[in-house]
Amino acid sequence: MTDVPGIFASNVFNDEKIRERLPRETYESYRASIESGGSLDIHVANAVADAMKDWAIEKGCTHYTHWFQPMTGITAEKHDSFLTPLEDGHVMMEFSGKELIKGEPDASSFPSGGIRATFEARGYTTWDPTSPAFVKDNTLCIPTAFMSYTGDVLDKKTPLLRSMDRINHEAVRILHLFGKTDVTRVDATVGPEQEYFLIDKEMFERRKDLQYTGRTLFGARSPKGQQLDDHYFGAIKQRVKAFMSELDVELWKLGIYAKTEHNEVAPAQHELAPIFTTVNIAADHNQLTMELMKRIARKHSMVCLLHEKPFKGVNGSGKHNNWSLSTNTGENLLKPGKKPEENTQFLLFLSAVIKAVDEYQDLLRLSVATAGNDHRLGGDEAPPAIISMFLGNDLEAIVEAIINGEDYESQGKVIMNTGAEALPEIRKDTTDRNRTSPFAFTGNKFEFRSLGSALNISCPNIMLNTMVADVLSSFCDELEKADDFDSAVRRLIRKTLKQHRRIIFNGDGYTDEWVAEAESRGLLNLKSTPEALKRYTDKKNIELFRRNHIFSEKEVRARQEILLENYIKIIDLEALTMLDMARKDILPGVSAFTQRLAETVQRKRAVSKEINVSAELKLLNKLSDLLGRFSEKLDELESKVGGSTAYRGDIQRHAEYNAREIFPVMEEVREISDEMEMCTASEFWPYPSYGKLLFSVQ
């Protein structure tokens, strides 16, 4: 049995360990500057660094790294050793406060969106003392923010921390108006549920598409897919079980509260849900979780796929971002309580979220926009590309009653009769679940469900924190002026709900009726990544970021450029991989099979002119036809890929070209190939089939 409490956070230099290892006064001064957000005295920094180093060396570390999250979406590390040479030829292990606080990685090879030319290489990493340092692979990892020499933001953590400061400030302001002057801090809390696929390593290695692009570019449906619904919550297979157990232990050591793990809807698909925590720590933890999933899967001869849509015709993988606000006094600000209709504080926060989501639908949508996620959104397995909110029956009725000035009494939790005496009575939640909504209220938090599985959760949370903070700020401005606070709050709630009720939708988001209805309500339907990203630099958005000190206009434009460029590169890479696989493997494979068929026809006929060769001839005809069309489509795809040179220098139009011209031809190429796969003998087909990929792990 694993001693969970014993190993939990054993690889983390958390507050408890800092306290144990620092003199009391030094520790108190350290805490005080963290809590006030002030700068750290160099003597204190030296003491923390020294204690951190001693602890890390005890853990077997020889190196340290400033661990950061550049705009690539993954984490970056540059390892330095603690080694310091002494004059007498000996060495000692040293780590100073300066080294802890500031690092200088060569920043030129990380994407900056034109903020920095390659010759301007200098970049800085700065310690984020609110996310604890940890040990990974005998290296002390120090979570850091990353910026350029000129102070421009080059990472995902800095804006996230800024957005946390904003929401903290504005939420505290509101709570003070409600008389809660004991509240000194409000944190955004997040619990990201992570979906992933596990497939056999040997199968993976035989698929160039999975290796180069993370998804299958070809592949006919397997006769058995997810139609029997027999995988969801099904019994977990032995190899997967071993993987999950090891993953849990490694996550626990890093202080990550991995709690639930179960199979998902698709074959070979699984989910991991951690217990929620402060958003910047949740973001760091989610990056670590994804990294560990990949690494531990390899140890078990499997590969963990985090792509949003690895298999066509099979549900893709997403990430559910459960978001709420919580005070230092332990109050969850999105908890409605027994009588939400009387809970004006809750209703005010709820109204703020409703207004924010309505006004910044575009930002939420674009925060989850990637080439991979385009396959999921709107595909009847994930929320549509239209952003709307689900409140559930009870809250929606309250909202309606407020708008109409009517009374409403919440039903609260009702006792559910299970119909069998042996079963205990259970209390039923006031709302059912709505799986189709992109942004659903789930009792005491909002669940943003449009995230793709591979996404760094910082981006959507930067948006959420910033837009809600901005609305709260305008609420405060209004309420601080009011003579009669209570009636001013009620008026404000009613006005806000009235203005933004269009964003609330409790029905089935997968239907065509909703698409039409959303359009008539004036909601955005940004179908593709380039379409969504275009909105990043809309005036109202640039203003929002500037007003809240999250990004300058230059930084917003840089981010937009990086994301568009990333989209272009992915589509190009997929198209080139497709051409390579098609010409080097698929075409020759099918051609060889047709040759075999032709030979069979000839040989059979040599035996007797009368012999029936209709099956071979029919297949030969069909495949030869398909092969001809396939080859023409490949030429078309190649010329489309070449055609993008016309857009050099105009990144928005280039991305739109890739979406409009290249992507649909890729779909056509695939369709022909999949049809050929269905009638080509297995021994001639160059790649493992969907059946082999999806059911390879037992």
Interacting residues toward Mg ion by CB under 5 A = 193, 320
CA Rg value for the chain: 28
Q: Which is nearer to Mg ion, 156 or 320 (CB)?
A: 320
| Residue 124 binds which of ligand ADP, Mg ion, none (CB < 5-8 A, kind-dependent) | none
Q: Which is nearer to ligand ADP, 172 or 190 (CB)?
A: 190
Question: Closest separation between CB of residue 258 and ligand ADP, Å?
Answer: 10
Give the span between the Cα atoms of 189 and 145, in whole angstroms: 20
The site for ligand ADP (CB under 6 A) is made up of: 189-191, 193, 273-276, 322-324, 332, 442, 444-445
Give the span between the Cα atoms of 45 and 30, in whole angstroms: 8
φ, ψ of residue 475 in degrees (nearest 5): -60, -45
Question: Which neighbouring-strand residues pair with 326?
Answer: 187, 332
- Closest-by-Cβ residue to Mg ion is 320
Give the span between the Cα atoms of 241 and 96, in whole angstroms: 43
Give the span between the Cα atoms of 199 and 303, in whole angstroms: 5
Q: Which is nearer to Mg ion, 445 or 670 (CB)?
A: 445
| Residue 678 binds which of ligand ADP, Mg ion, none (CB < 5-8 A, kind-dependent) | none
Question: Closest separation between CB of residue 259 and ligand ADP, Å?
Answer: 7
| Residue 275 binds which of Mg ion, ligand ADP, none (CB < 5-8 A, kind-dependent) | ligand ADP
Question: Which neighbouring-strand residues pair with 195?
Answer: 271
Residue 406 · residue 368 · CB < 8 Å:
no
Q: Which is nearer to ligand ADP, 273 or 471 (CB)?
A: 273
Give the span between the Cα atoms of 103 and 69, in whole angstroms: 14
| Dihedral sign for Cα atoms in the order 484, 338, 190, 507 | negative
Question: Closest separation between CB of residue 452 and Mg ion, Å?
Answer: 15
Q: Which is nearer to ligand ADP, 76 or 464 (CB)?
A: 464
Residue 499 · residue 471 · CB < 8 Å:
no
Strands 139-148 and 63-67, bridge-based pairing = parallel
Question: Closest separation between CB of residue 319 and ligand ADP, Å?
Answer: 11
| Residue 454 binds which of ligand ADP, Mg ion, none (CB < 5-8 A, kind-dependent) | none
Q: Which is nearer to ligand ADP, 472 or 619 (CB)?
A: 472
| Residue 273 binds which of Mg ion, ligand ADP, none (CB < 5-8 A, kind-dependent) | ligand ADP
HEC readout, 326-373? EECCCCECCCCCCCHHHCHHHHHHHHHHHHHHHHCHHHHHHHCCCCCH
Q: Which is nearer to ligand ADP, 121 or 236 (CB)?
A: 236
Look-up: residue for tokens 């005010």? Answer: 348
Give the span between the Cα atoms of 363 and 373, in whole angstroms: 15
Question: Closest separation between CB of residue 323 and ligand ADP, Å?
Answer: 6
Give the span between the Cα atoms of 375 and 377, in whole angstroms: 6
| Dihedral sign for Cα atoms in the order 194, 199, 202, 208 | negative
| Residue 189 binds which of Mg ion, ligand ADP, none (CB < 5-8 A, kind-dependent) | ligand ADP
Question: Closest separation between CB of residue 56 and ligand ADP, Å?
Answer: 29
Residue 199 · residue 298 · CB < 8 Å:
no
Kind plus residue range of the DSSP H or E element containing 89: none
| Residue 324 binds which of ligand ADP, Mg ion, none (CB < 5-8 A, kind-dependent) | ligand ADP
The contacts of residue 189 (CB under 8 Å, 6+ apart) are 276, 277, 278, 279, 282, 323, 324, 325, 326, 445
Residue 659 · residue 532 · CB < 8 Å:
no
Question: Closest separation between CB of residue 332 and ligand ADP, Å?
Answer: 5
Question: Closest separation between CB of residue 325 and ligand ADP, Å?
Answer: 8
Q: Which is nearer to ligand ADP, 381 or 616 (CB)?
A: 381
Question: Which neighbouring-strand residues pair with 125?
Answer: 103, 146
Question: Closest separation between CB of residue 193 and Mg ion, Å?
Answer: 5
Question: Closest separation between CB of residue 197 and ligand ADP, Å?
Answer: 20
Burial of 80 per CB tally in 10 Å (0-12, 13-18, 19+):
middle
Question: Closest separation between CB of residue 495 and Mg ion, Å?
Answer: 32
Q: Which is nearer to Mg ion, 132 or 318 (CB)?
A: 318
Give the span between the Cα atoms of 480 and 181, in whole angstroms: 15
- Closest-by-Cβ residue to ligand ADP is 191
| Residue 377 binds which of ligand ADP, Mg ion, none (CB < 5-8 A, kind-dependent) | none
Residue 345 · residue 490 · CB < 8 Å:
no
Give the span between the Cα atoms of 86 and 259, in whole angstroms: 48
Q: Which is nearer to Mg ion, 192 or 310 (CB)?
A: 192
Q: Which is nearer to Mg ion, 193 or 284 (CB)?
A: 193
| Residue 332 binds which of Mg ion, ligand ADP, none (CB < 5-8 A, kind-dependent) | ligand ADP
| Residue 276 binds which of ligand ADP, Mg ion, none (CB < 5-8 A, kind-dependent) | ligand ADP
Question: Closest separation between CB of residue 364 and ligand ADP, Å?
Answer: 17
Give the span between the Cα atoms of 529 and 378, in whole angstroms: 13
The contacts of residue 520 (CB under 8 Å, 6+ apart) are none
Q: Which is nearer to ligand ADP, 193 or 555 (CB)?
A: 193
| Residue 49 binds which of Mg ion, ligand ADP, none (CB < 5-8 A, kind-dependent) | none
Question: Closest separation between CB of residue 375 and Mg ion, Å?
Answer: 20
| Residue 314 binds which of ligand ADP, Mg ion, none (CB < 5-8 A, kind-dependent) | none
CA atoms in the 13 A half-sphere facing the CB of 440: 21
Look-up: residue for tokens 């857009």? Answer: 647
Give the span between the Cα atoms of 17 and 15, in whole angstroms: 5
Question: Closest separation between CB of residue 501 and Mg ion, Å?
Answer: 25
| Residue 634 binds which of Mg ion, ligand ADP, none (CB < 5-8 A, kind-dependent) | none
| Residue 444 binds which of ligand ADP, Mg ion, none (CB < 5-8 A, kind-dependent) | ligand ADP
Q: Which is nearer to ligand ADP, 65 or 431 (CB)?
A: 431
Q: Which is nearer to ligand ADP, 461 or 577 (CB)?
A: 461
